[in-house]
Amino acid sequence: MQLQYGQVLGYLPDFLIGAAIALIIAFVAFVLGLAIGLAGASTLAYGPRWARMLVRAYVSFFTNTPQLVQIFFLFFALPEFGVLLSPVQAVLIGMTLNAGAYLTEIQRAGFQALPQAEIDAAETLGFTRLQTIRHVIAPHIVKALYPSLSNQYIIMTLGTSMAAIFGVEELTARALNANAISFRSIEIFSLAALIYIVLTIVASAILYAIGRAMFRVKAKAF
């Protein structure tokens, strides 16, 4: 058997568009999930008992069921109740809710690691709870948990491959389409794998640069 990469290089521009779509989905889901996670972690730390119970139930459900099943429910079950979602909407909502649960747990660790003296100082200065979270807790969480948050983003970027099941034209879906036409499976999927590797390296380098420049995080680029 001879490898014929020349026959599949013509699909490279199409694959790069798919890679860009994967990055966009992962970025939007991560940012929205980060906001949900911050709200969830804040509730677990300072919220009333009933609100803490709701957040724990949310986290327990989304961290103990497969993300693929969650998206299947959104895409196939919600129409039974009159809620129709496009493939992109279903994937994006599913990934966001799933990320929010994991990021709640990650950021909760940051709340617990925050020195009480800093909280007391904020209260002494007259900060409201929201101001304390924004100006004291959130910067601490970002700096302390930046490696964990970065890893979660990389995992989400790779996880966008499941969107192919729902017809979203990201990298994996485009590789499947190209394989169905060319029947050069080894070449097609090794090329897709190489692009995924490049994506993770580039994303790691960007996150490393942002962490160093904005938060003085001492972490490895990749």
Domain boundaries, the chain: 23-170
Please answer whether residues 140 and 178 qualify as being in contact, where contact means their C-beta atoms are separated by less than 8 angstroms.
no
Q: What is the mean pLDDT of residues 25-51?
A: 89
The pTM of this model reads: 0.83
Question: pLDDT at residue 191 above 80?
Answer: yes
Per-residue confidence (pLDDT) for residue 217, from 0 to 100: 62
At residue 203's C-alpha, the angle toward residues 163 and 11, to 5°, is 55
Q: What region, left, alpha or beta, does residue 167 occupy, with left being phi > 0 and alpha being psi -120 to 50 degrees?
A: left
Calpha distance 101→106 (Å, rounded):
9
Tally of CA atoms within 13 A in the half-sphere of 153 that contains its CB: 24
Architecture category of domain 23-170 in CATH: Orthogonal Bundle (1.10)
For 73-107, the pLDDT digits (tens) are 999 999 888 888 999 999 999 999 999 999 998 88
Query: Of 121, 124, 117, 136, nearest to 42 (Cα)?
Result: 136
